[in-house]
Amino acid sequence: MAKQGHKDRLSAIDASFLHQEKQSSHMHVGALVIFEGPAPSHDEFSTHIQSRLRLVPRYRQRLAVPRFEMGRPFWVDDPSFNIDYHVRHTALPRPGSDDQLRQLAGRIFSQRLDRSKPLWEVWLIQGFEGGKFAVISKTHHALVDGVAGVDIATVLFDLQPVPPEAPEDDGWTAEPEPSDVELVAEGIKGLVRTPLSLAGRTLGAISSPSRSIEHVREAAEGIGEVVWAGMNPAPDVPLNVPIGPHRRVRWVQSRLSDFKEIKDALGGTVNDAVLAVVAGALGRWLRTRGVRTEGLELRALVPVSIRSQDERGTLGNRIAAMRGALPVYVDDPVERLRQVQESMGNLKQSKQALGAEVIAGLTDFAPPTLLAQASRLNFSTRLFNLIVTNVPGPQFPLYLLGREMQEIVPIAFLPENHALAIAIMSYNGKVDFGLLADYDAMADLEDFGTMLEDALAELLKEARARTKATASSNGVKKKSQQGARRAPSGQSRQASP
């Protein structure tokens, strides 16, 4: 794991998440996790988290912004760090129902994180029905890469029911706070390093001209695809309306085996099947809002990790925004899956990710004003109708202080003018759809959850019919082959006296 040091500068992508945060568009992400009971005490839970913070040093650091816009903000140690501020404790009133837990999650995700402190919270929630308890984590996107980074959730859980012993005190002490003069000086250093870095790239190009020309050509094509997408905004639908700060949270649970069954019978990947289900549900929902879906194709922002193998464990977000098509106009579920499969195949062959990576790399050397413009180009909310992110999770049980994790619901964020975000995660044979919506714009979020279930059932029915038909056809063919092999011996017996 790379060292997360004092006075590390935010990457361009991380800083862009700060620029995009507005009063009604919070840029935190997280998860709701359900465990078998009984719940640990607040002190036990807090001590457990404290013991793991040495593995994620960034969680004891806060933002420091240089004056006069001298470069991007820094991460600095928080000298007044207090674990009790970040680890919250509450309980559901009786009966502790799913709906009460959803309402609580909605309220927690409606509140912005305080930028004067490390940008995370973890809530321990007791009183959930069935003798269970829940944990809700909330972390600013600038702090954690939702696709491939390291965050508190990756170090909080264990592979075995009995957690390993951890030191009660890891000996952490905060580095001295940098002064305004020091921060400005660090910002100037970054500006001075810019031409040197560019010069280094130029020398590399001179030493390997053929390779550099090919890379420049591909990068130019990638930037062209990003610019073309920017000139072709997503369709105007009721998902894209002004939103407020308040949120609704719902989740839909399904089985990973169902998506594998669809994949095996109808082709494509598990992710293709997931997106086809989402497209089916969105088509149904739009029609309930009076939208004609003939010929209508929505665009989903699909975050894709661009972290190379040798960059694993490096600091900051390394993601690109890919724009995938959701064919809500297709009524037939099998054809809808085929369209998604074709669209995602074309997307993977495109150079959108490379173009986004080049733009992100250039913004590493950009002042804050240009950084904001590049952020709008890469993540412009005009370019997509909703976020759909699918993260594969572990297919084995995880534990928290000896309690087995039963369910994990990922929760994304709502950019400006986006009323719905869908985050999907698989865990131990299950697939959870985490739905985050604007409180007023999507009062029918529960109905949309039912539409997801219906779209999955519809596709699964077609997959099973295809499997049955294939098995029946193979059975007839096998009997025919067996009959053909038996015929000569039968004829010889009939000819015998």
Q: Along the chain (497 residues), what's the average pLDDT of each consecutive run of 10 residues?
A: 68 81 92 94 94 89 78 89 96 96 98 95 96 95 61 82 75 82 61 45 48 54 56 88 97 97 96 96 97 95 60 46 88 96 77 54 50 53 89 92 95 94 96 98 98 98 94 74 61 41
Where in the chain are the domains? 8-168+178-185, 197-393+415-466
Please report the pLDDT score of residue 420 as a whole number.
98
What distance in Å separates the CA atoms of residue 46 and residue 48, rounded to the nearest whole number? 5
Equal CATH topology for 8-168+178-185 and 197-393+415-466: yes
Predicted local distance difference test score (pLDDT) of residue 356: 55
64 membership: H or E segment, kind and range? strand 61-64
The phi and psi torsions of 462 (rounded to 5 degrees) equal: -65, -40
Predicted pLDDT at 1: 38
Taking phi over 0 as left and psi of -120 to 50 as alpha, with beta for the rest, 57 belongs to alpha
CB 457, CB 278: distance < 8 Å: no
By residue count, the chain amounts to: 497
The pLDDT value given to residue 233: 83
Residue 113 host element (H or E): none
Residue with tokens 């007791």: 126
The structure tokens listed for 404 are: 């087995």
Which fold would CATH assign to domain 8-168+178-185? Chloramphenicol Acetyltransferase (3.30.559)
Indicate the burial class of 480 (C-beta count within 10 angstroms; 0-12, 13-18, 19 or more): exposed
The burial class, CB within 10 Å (0-12 / 13-18 / 19+), for 242 is: exposed
How far from the centroid of its chain's Cα atoms is residue 9's Cα?
23
Q: State the first-to-last Cα distance of the chain, in angstroms, to the nearest integer.
A: 85
Instruction: From the options 3.30.559.30, 3.30.230.70, 3.30.70.100, 3.40.50.1000, give the CATH code of 197-393+415-466.
Output: 3.30.559.30
Q: Is 381 helix (H, G, I), strand (E, B) or coil?
A: helix
Q: Is the pTM of this model over 0.85?
A: no
Beta-bridge mates of residue 405:
35
- What is the reported pLDDT for 285? 98
What six digits make up the tokens of 144?
């954690």
The strand pairing partners of 31, in sequence order, are 137, 410
| pLDDT of res. 295 | 94
Residues marked active site are found at: 141
Residue with tokens 């993540």: 379
Q: Which two tokens stand for residue 234?
A: 């997503």
